[in-house]
């Protein structure tokens, strides 16, 4: 019993500390205005990653929260209503300047991070692989597939997720 209480106190203290230092944001209340933190985020018709999108939101766009449903926020953006995942928005105001991504990094650095690289990592990779052709990576990165197209592809092709241990899905 004492161990359970102590564990609860420690867990609660850690969560409070994380909230205070900004590691975890609490769920917003309806009416809260938030900023899009991702370079691009889809405003979805329903609270799921695959399906129809209502609009595309850019980094720094301000949205008003209407409802919270688990990890999804129903928001209004310029008269359009849809759902955005909590990882795509922040309560902080993001102000952009020309070529800025809103995080103190350049657009090029943000694109490298999207590939999983930092400028230092890419420089090292390029020096070890001078003949590597990035044009194919750039072409793939430029593809912009709508989530409803992915959902149709999955449904039409009867694509199933990986099988779990024991043969169950």
pLDDT tens digit sequence for 82-114: 999 999 999 998 876 555 544 555 655 555 555
Q: Which residue range is the domain that position 136 belongs to?
A: 105-142
Using 50, 70 and 90 to split pLDDT, how confident is the model at 21? very low
Mean pLDDT computed over 50-73 = 94
Could you tell me if 126 and 74 lie in one domain?
Answer: no
Helices (H), the chain: 2-21, 107-115, 119-128, 135-142, 147-156
User: What SS3 class is residue 134?
Assistant: coil
Domain total in the chain? 2
Q: Which of 65, 117, 123, 127 is nearest to 90 (CA)?
A: 65
Assess whether 75 and 115 both reside in one domain: no
Paired tokens of 124: 């090292």
Whether residue 19 is contained in a domain is answered as no
pLDDT of residue 162: 65
- Better-scored residue on pLDDT, 25 or 44: 44
Q: In what order do the strands lie in the sheet with 33-36?
A: 53-58, 40-44, 80-85, 72-77, 62-69, 33-36, 89-90
Exposed e or buried b per residue across 68-78, where buried means at least 16 C-beta atoms within 10 angstroms of its C-beta: beeebbbbebe
* pLDDT tens for each residue of 137-154: 777 767 777 777 777 787
Instruction: Please tell me the pTM assigned to this model.
Output: 0.57
CATH number, domain with residue 82: 2.30.30.40
The rounded percent of the chain whose pLDDT value lies above 70 is 64
With respect to residue 51, please indicate whether it lies within any of the assigned structural domains: yes
Is the same domain home to 93 and 111? no
Instruction: Return the pLDDT at 3.
Output: 53
Q: Is the pLDDT of residue 73 over 80?
A: yes
Output the pLDDT for position 111: 57
């Amino acid at each position: 019993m004492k161990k359970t209480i102590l564990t609860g106190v420690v867990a609660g203290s850690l969560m409070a500390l994380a909230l205070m230092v900004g590691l975890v944001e609490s769920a917003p209340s309806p009416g809260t205005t938030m900023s899009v933190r991702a370079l691009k985020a889809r405003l979805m018709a329903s609270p799921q990653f695959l399906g129809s999108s209502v609009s595309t939101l850019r980094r720094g766009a301000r949205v008003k929260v209407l409802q919270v449903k688990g990890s999804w926020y129903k928001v209004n953006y310029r008269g359009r209503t849809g759902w955005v995942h909590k990882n795509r928005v922040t309560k902080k105001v993001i102000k952009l300047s020309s070529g800025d991504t809103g995080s103190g990094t350049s657009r090029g650095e943000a694109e490298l991070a999207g590939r999983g690289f930092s400028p230092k990592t890419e420089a090292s990779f390029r020096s070890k692989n001078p003949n590597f052709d990035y044009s194919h990576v750039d072409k793939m990165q430029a593809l912009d597939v709508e989530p409803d197209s992915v959902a149709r592809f999955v449904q039409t092709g009867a694509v199933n997720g990986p099988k779990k241990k024991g043969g169950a899905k």
